[in-house]
Amino acid sequence: MMVSSSRKITPIFGAELDKLVTLPLIWRTFVATFIVNLALTAAFTSANLQGAIGTQSILATGLASMGYLQAGFIILGILATCSEYTGGQIRTTLTTIPWRGLQLSTKHLALAVVTIPMALILTGSGILYAFIMMRDTAAEMEIDTMIKTLLGATGYLTLTTLLSAAIGALFKRTTPALVVLLGYYFIVSPLAREYLPNIQYYFPDTAGSYMYMPLSSGEISSLSPLQGTGIILAWTLFFITAAIVCYRKRDA
């Protein structure tokens, strides 16, 4: 059957979006991440408020929980692709959409559309909380730095989600994918940061963190936000491509 690719994309995109939005686990993950994030931000804020007056930055405090927040988005990404494989939903999907490359890339697109508002809400709420609590004591904050940081953090979380989705598609099972990603982000990467300071800038999470980290003047070889974005984007595209290639070759 010859159908032009542009006419295929809209229904496929609608279907993928529909599947993601109706996945109850996605919403539960989002709500849980939101609550945990607020609790952590509250803890960080109260810890910072005990410091000297006028020195704290609202942005740094509001985003201090980013390291833990990304776990929620890693789970989100893995769930999006691995949910297809529990109970054989994948065969139904591929019967109705027999173009595998198109299907998986549209899935990532739909996931990005779902993730961006979520990430914006989460990072925004963290900064807002820190702003309300620290209004009187913290240093002045410029509005355009705040917008830049917010966009950077949202972009970072979205790219991390897409990367996790690609890894999930490669592993096809939730538990191994989760172990590998959490192990990398929370154990291997902090260690690498300590013991391999030269090459850590090329790792997706360290490079990505420059997308939202307020620039500290002390560091010499740090990356600009744009360079950080480029590196994490390259990693994400690499894993998505690998996932699509495997997906096309492999038995479903």
Phi and psi at 171, nearest 5°, equal -85, -30
**Site for another protein contains 130 (CB under 8 A):** no
**Site for another protein contains 26 (CB under 8 A):** no
**Site for another protein contains 194 (CB under 8 A):** yes
Give 127-155 as a DSSP string: HHHHHHHHTTTSPP--HHHHHHHHHHHHH
Only one of the segments 123-131, 158-166, 187-195, 208-216 lies at the binding site for another protein (rule: CB under 8 A); that segment is 187-195
Report how many helices (DSSP H) and strands (DSSP E) the chain contains, helices first: 11, 0
**Site for another protein contains 176 (CB under 8 A):** yes
88/230 with CB nearer another protein: 88
Out of 2, 143, 191, 220, name the contact with another protein by CB under 8 A. Answer: 191
**Site for another protein contains 87 (CB under 8 A):** yes
Give the number of residues in contact with another protein, rule: CB under 8 A: 26
Which pair of structure tokens corresponds to residue 82?
Answer: 């691995």
Nearest Cα neighbor of 153 from 63, 80, 77 is 63
Only one of the segments 101-109, 158-166, 179-187, 236-244 lies at the binding site for another protein (rule: CB under 8 A); that segment is 179-187
Nearest Cα neighbor of 244 from 107, 124, 143, 130 is 107
**Site for another protein contains 184 (CB under 8 A):** no
Contact between residue 141 and residue 57 where contact means Cβ atoms under 8 Å apart: yes
Phi and psi at 88, nearest 5°, equal 75, 25
178/207 with CB nearer another protein: 178
Kindly list the residues in this chain that would bind another protein in the complex (CB under 8 A): 32, 40, 43-44, 46-47, 68, 71, 75, 79, 86-88, 174-176, 178-179, 182-183, 186-187, 190-191, 194-195
